[in-house]
Amino acid sequence: MNAPMPAVLRQHLIDPEICIRCNTCEATCPVAAITHDDRNYVIEASKCNFCMACISPCPTGSIDNWRQVPGAKAYTVEEQLLWDELPPELSAEQLAAQLAELAGGGDAAAVVDAVAAATPETPATDPTGEAAFNSAQWGAQVPPWSAAHPYTKLYGPKAPTMATVVGNVKVNEAGTENETHHIVLDFGSMPFPVLEGQSIGVIPPGVDAQGKPHHARQYSIASPRNGERPGYNNLSLTVKRVVNDPQGRPIHGVASNYLCDAAVGDKVQVIGPFGASFLMPNHPKSHLVMICTGTGSAPMRAMTEWRRRLRQSGKFEGGKLMLFFGARTQAELPYFGPLTSLPKDFIDINLAFSRTPGAPRRYVQDLMRERAADLVALLKDPNTCFYVCGLKAMEEGVVLALRDIAQNAGLNWETLGATLKNEGRLHLETY
Amino acid sequence: MSTINYSEKIPNNVNLSEDKTLQRALEHWQPNYLNWWNDMGPDGSNNFDVYLRTAVSVDADGWAQFGHVKMPDYRWGIFLNPKEEGRQVNFGEHKGEAAWQDVPGEHRANLRRIIVTQGDTEPASVEQQRHLGLTCPSQYDLRNLFQVNVEEGRHLWAMVYLLHKYFGRDGREEAEALLDRRSGDSDNPRILQAFNEPTPDWLSFYMFTYFTDRDGKFQLCALAESGFDPLARTTKFMLTEEAHHMFVGESGVSRVIARTCQVMNELKTDDPAKIRAAGVIDLPTIQRYLNFHFSVTIDLFGADESSNAAIFYNSGLKGRYEETKRGDDHRLQGQTYKVLGLKEGHLIEREVPMLNALNEVLRDDYIKDSIGGVQRWNKVIEKAGIPFKLQAPHKAFNRKIGTLAGAHISPDGRAVSATEFAARQNEWLPSVEDRAFVASLMGRVTEAGKFANWIAPPVMGINRQPVDFDYVRFN
C-alpha cells in the first residue's frame, strides 16, 4: 500500500547491528516493502502496512524495531542503507519540535499532547478502513452449559456481612512497583457459597472527602469453590496496591491499600457474591483457555486450582488448561513461583513480559499468535471455554488475536465468534 | 494458505495420501530415518521438551510457530513452497520454456547427483554436531543447536522426497544410502570433505554455522533458481529455515568476541596467555579458527573451472545466486570471468569462459557475503576500544580443491615456500594446542539464564522470550 503518511508514524525499522542479512524478511514481506544492498536490509515506510508477517520468521529479532517520527520525516530507504546502528528514539520534545517545524511553528506542548493522544502502543493495523473492531460484542452473557449454579447477591450494600482476615501475603517480588497481595477472608459460620470466576465487594471503613461512606470495591475470587483452605468457609482475593492512576499520577487507592495493609484478625465488610456467567465448565473433559494480566489472574488461579484439586482426587479426565499471563516484568507477576511449579502436562503456561529491561515488549496477544496452531484446535473443540480478565486495554488485542487466528485457519469468525458467545464459551471481564 | 496435513504419519503439503506408492515408499524409509536419528542425532536428548520453531504452513505467518516440542516428535515431513503459476526456466539454453514439473530424461543423472550431494550434507552436519549438547554453554545455545539439528533433519526429508518421487528405484537406493554414510567414517564417508571434519567444540560449531551453513544458503539459492520446479520450491522453503543456522553462527562468534573484549578491558591486557588464563578465547585464536573454517568452506563450491557447472547452468538445473535479479542475458555464452591461478610461484588472474567459472562466481558472491559478517564482528571489537581486526583470509589460502589445491599461500595472499607455510602453519590455522585449549573451556551450563564464562549472553532471547526462559525442559 502507499497510504498517505500519518502525522506521527511508528516507523518499522531493522537494527543493522543485529541483522545477519539472511534475506528472510525480504522473502516473506507480502508487499515488497523490504529491500537491501550489500550493506543493509531496510524497510520502505510508504510500503510497510504493519502486517507483521516478517516478525516471527526473523531469526535474530532485529526486525522488531520501531521509532516514532513525524510521518513527513520518516527515515528514507537511502538513509537507512547507510546506517551502522539505529538512531535513538526521538524524545517527546524533539518530536514535538519537528512537528511544530513542519506545521510552521506553534505550541510545542500542545503538539506533544496531540502526539500522546494519537499514538497507540502498537502500530495501527487496520489498513482496510473497515469499521472499528468492537471486542466487547463477543463476550458471553450466559455461563457454559455445564457450569455449576451460582448463588449471587446474598448480601447487598445495605446489609453487608463480615469476614475476618486470616491471611495476607505478598505474591510478587518485594520492592516492585505493582505490589500485589493474596488476602484470605474467613466467613466463620455465615453462609457465603462461591464458584470460581465470581467476585465479591469489599467496603472500606470510614468516609470519603465528601463525608459519604466509601463505595464497595469489587474483587475477583482467587480461590476455588471449596475455599483457599479446603473444608473451611473461606476464600482468597488478589489485590494490587494502587498508588498511581492510569496516567501515572500518584493517588491512594482506598480499598486496595486498606486490604493490603489489613492485619490478620481484622474484620472486613463484604457484599456479594457477584457474577453468573464468567463461570467454569463443570464437566472434567472441558478445556480452559485463560488469558489475563496482573490481578486479572485471580479467577484463572481459582479455576486452575479447582482443576488441580480434581486431578489430585482422580476426578479429572484430561481437559486441557492453557494460560496466557502478562505482566510488566517477571518480578511483578503474581504467583510466579507456584505457577511455574505446576506440572507441565497439567497446564500449558505462556508468560508475556512487557517491560523486561533490554528485551522487546511482549503482550499476551503476541503469545497467542505464536500458539496459533494449538489455539485453532481448541477453537474448533466445543469443549473449550475462553476467559479474558485484566486491564480493559488488553481486551481488544486479545479478541482480535482470536479472530485472526481463527481466520488464518480458514474458520469464519462471524460464525465461530457468535457460537462462542451464544454457548457461553468466551467470557470477557476487563476493567 | 497451503496448510500442512498433520493427520498422516508424515506431515506434508504435497498431497502425499493421493500417491499411495510414494507414501508407502516414504513410510518404509521413515523408520530407518528414526533409527538413524536415534543412533546419530544429538546425544542424550530424548524426551527433552525444546522450545522449537516449527512450520504449520509454508506461508509467512505459518512457518515460524514457537512452542515446546519433544525432541524425537518434531514434525518431520515434506514442505514445499506454493507453486508459482506460469513459472519459467529462467536461464541456460531452455530459457523461456515452462519450468519442468518432471525430470527431463537427459538431465536425470545430473539432477540426481545435485540432489544427493545437497541431501548428504544435511544428516552429515547433525552427525558432526551430535556430541555438542554435552558441552553447551547455556540452555539458550542448547536450544539453538537442537533447532539447527531438527531442521537439518527435515531438509534431509525434503531431498529424500524428491529422490523418491522423481527418481524411481535409483532414487530409493540413493535415499537409503543417505542414511548409511557417516560423517568422518573412513569406509563410508559423507560426500563433501567439509562435512567429514569434526565439530569438536562450540567455537567450531559457531564458525561452522556461520561459514558452512552460509555455503548452504548460496547453494540453496542457486538450486531455488532451478528449472526443475519441485527442486526450486523445496529449496525455497529450506532457505527460510537456513537463516536461523547462520544467525546461530554469526551471533555465537560475536558473543565469544564480546566476552573476550570485556575480559581484555577488565584485565587491561592483550596478552593471549593472560586472556586464556582468565578462561576466555583470545582474539588470535578466533582468527585462526576463522581462517580454517573460511578456507575449508570455500572449497565446497568446487573446482574453479568446472564443465559440470557449465552443464548444470546451461541445461537449466542450477542457476546463479539471485539469478532472476541479474540484468544480463542469463545464457552467458561468450562471456568470461576472472579466476585465480598460480604461475611460476605467483598468483595470477586468468580469464576463463564464464560458463565454466560458475563455481567461482558463486564462491565470490559467498565471499562478499561472508566478509560482511566479519566486519560486523569487527564492530564489536571496535566498540570495546580494542585495536584488533579480524580478517577473512585470502581466497587462495589453504585450498584443497581446484587449481589452487596445494598452493602455499599465506592468509594475506602471498605465495610462500612449502617450508615457510609449514613453519607458520600454527600461526595461521588452529594448532593442536589451540584446539585443546578451546576444548578445555567446554563445560556444560544448563541452568536457565546462566552462561559459560567464555561467552556473552545474547542481546535478546529467541522469539523475544527472556534470556532466562526455559528453552529446554529436561524432564
What residue in A sits closest to B470 (Cα-Cα)?
A340
Cβ within 8 Å, pair B1-A410: yes
Chain A hits for B465, CB-CB cut-off 8 Å, are: 362
Residue A336 confidence (pLDDT): 79
Residue B61 confidence (pLDDT): 67
% residues pLDDT > 90 (chain A): 48
Three cell numbers, residue A57: 520468521
Residue A248 confidence (pLDDT): 67
Overall residue count recorded for chain A in this entry: 431
- Hunting for cell 465528601 — which residue is that? A210
Known catalytic residues of A? 219-220, 389, 429, 431
Cβ within 8 Å, pair B243-A24: yes
Domain A161-274 has CATH 2.40.30.10: yes
The span from the first CA to the last CA of chain B, in angstroms, equals 36
Mean pLDDT (whole number) for B82-103: 94
- Let me know: does B165 contact B234? Beta carbons within 8 Å: no
Cβ within 8 Å, pair B372-A21: yes
Cα B226 to Cα B99: distance, rounded to the nearest angstrom? 8
Cα A260 to Cα B76: distance, rounded to the nearest angstrom? 52
Cα B28 to Cα B21: distance, rounded to the nearest angstrom? 11
Cβ within 8 Å, pair A370-B372: no
pLDDT above 50 (res B135): yes
Supply the pTM of this predicted model: 0.66
Whether A93 has a binding-site annotation, put simply, is: no
Delimit the domains of chain A by residue range: 8-114, 136-148+277-430, 161-274
- Let me know: does B289 contact B204? Beta carbons within 8 Å: yes
pLDDT above 50 (res A112): no
Average pLDDT score, chain B: 93
Chain B hits for A408, CB-CB cut-off 8 Å, are: 1, 61-62
Cα A353 to Cα B460: distance, rounded to the nearest angstrom? 13
Residues 6 or more apart from B437 whose CB is under 8 A from it? B276, B281, B285
Please give the C-alpha separations between residue A406 and each of A13, A364, B157, in angstroms, as whole numbers: 29, 17, 30
pLDDT above 80 (res A8): yes
ipTM above 0.90, yes or no: no
Residue A216 confidence (pLDDT): 87
Chain segment A293-330, per-residue pLDDT in tens: 988 999 999 999 999 999 888 877 778 999 999 988 88
Buried b (16+ CB within 10 A) or exposed e, B203-228: bbbbbbbbbbbbbbbbbbbbbbbbbb
Cα B259 to Cα B248: distance, rounded to the nearest angstrom? 16
Residue B171 confidence (pLDDT): 95
Test the B interface: residue of A14, A15, A21, A24 with most B CBs within 10 Å = A24
Mean pLDDT (whole number) for B286-290: 98
Whether A429 has a binding-site annotation, put simply, is: yes
- Full DSSP string of A201-268: EEE-SSB-TTSPBPPPEEEEB-S-TTTTTTTSSEEEEEEEPP-B-TTS-B---HHHHHHHTPPTT-EE
Residue B414 confidence (pLDDT): 93
Report residue B213's pLDDT band, with 50, 70 and 90 as the boundaries. very high
pLDDT above 70 (res A344): yes
- Let me know: does B90 contact B319? Beta carbons within 8 Å: yes
Cβ within 8 Å, pair A359-B467: yes
Which residues 8-27 of A have a C-beta within 8 angstroms of B? 17-18, 20-24, 27
Domain A8-114 has CATH 3.30.70.20: yes
- Let me know: does B440 contact B454? Beta carbons within 8 Å: no
Q: If we measure between CA atoms, which residue out of B5, B241, B298 comes closest to residue B122? A: B241
Mean pLDDT (whole number) for B127-151: 95
pLDDT above 90 (res B349): yes
Cβ within 8 Å, pair A330-B466: yes
pLDDT above 50 (res A275): yes
Residue B460 C-alpha, separation from nearest chain A C-alpha, in angstroms? 6
Residue A410 forms contact with B (CB below 8 Å): yes
Average pLDDT score, chain A: 86
Residue A128 confidence (pLDDT): 42
- Let me know: does A324 contact A290? Beta carbons within 8 Å: yes
Helix (H, G, I), strand (E, B) or coil at B161: helix
Cα B418 to Cα B400: distance, rounded to the nearest angstrom? 15
Residue B436 C-alpha, separation from nearest chain A C-alpha, in angstroms? 30
The one-letter amino acid code at B71 reads M
Chain segment B185-202, per-residue pLDDT in tens: 999 999 998 899 889 999
Report residue A173's pLDDT band, with 50, 70 and 90 as the boundaries. confident
Cα A77 to Cα A336: distance, rounded to the nearest angstrom? 44
Test the B interface: residue of A17, A22, A86, A355 with most B CBs within 10 Å = A22
Mean pLDDT (whole number) for A98-122: 54
Mean pLDDT (whole number) for B59-73: 81
Residue A125 confidence (pLDDT): 38
% residues pLDDT > 90 (chain B): 82
Chain segment B352-401, per-residue pLDDT in tens: 999 999 999 999 999 999 999 999 999 999 999 999 999 999 999 999 99
**Maximum Cα–Cα distance across chain B:** 68
Q: A202 has which bridge partners? A: A217, A270
Query: Would you call B191 exposed, middle or buried from its count of C-beta atoms within 10 A (0-12, 13-18, 19+)?
Result: middle
Cβ within 8 Å, pair A359-B461: yes
Q: B405 has which bridge partners? A: none
Mean pLDDT (whole number) for B22-49: 92
Chain A hits for B251, CB-CB cut-off 8 Å, are: 18, 20, 60
% residues pLDDT > 70 (chain A): 91
Give the torsion sign (CA, A36, A41, A47, A52). Answer: positive
Report residue A123's pLDDT band, with 50, 70 and 90 as the boundaries. very low
Chain A hits for B461, CB-CB cut-off 8 Å, are: 359
What dotted CATH number matches A136-148+277-430? Answer: 3.40.50.80
pLDDT above 70 (res A338): yes
Chain segment A94-106, per-residue pLDDT in tens: 888 888 887 765 4
Three cell numbers, residue A164: 475476618
Whether A240 has a binding-site annotation, put simply, is: yes
Residue B319 C-alpha, separation from nearest chain A C-alpha, in angstroms? 18
Residue A78 forms contact with B (CB below 8 Å): no
Mean pLDDT (whole number) for B234-262: 94
Count of C-beta atoms within a 10 Å radius of residue B465 = 24
pLDDT above 60 (res B35): yes
Query: Would you call A406 exposed, middle or buried from its count of C-beta atoms within 10 A (0-12, 13-18, 19+)?
Result: buried
% residues pLDDT > 70 (chain B): 99
Residue A408 forms contact with B (CB below 8 Å): yes
Report the C-alpha dihedral over residues A234, A235, A241, A247, rounded to 10 degrees.
-150
pLDDT above 90 (res A10): no
Nearest CB partner across the interface for B464, out of A27, A29, A362: A362
Residue A119 confidence (pLDDT): 39
Chain segment A217-255, per-residue pLDDT in tens: 999 999 999 999 988 999 999 999 888 776 667 778 889
Q: If we measure between CA atoms, which residue out of A294, A288, A262 comes closest to residue A364? A: A294
Whether A295 has a binding-site annotation, put simply, is: yes
pLDDT above 90 (res B475): no
Residue B463 C-alpha, separation from nearest chain A C-alpha, in angstroms? 7
Cβ within 8 Å, pair B463-A374: no
Cβ within 8 Å, pair B60-A359: no
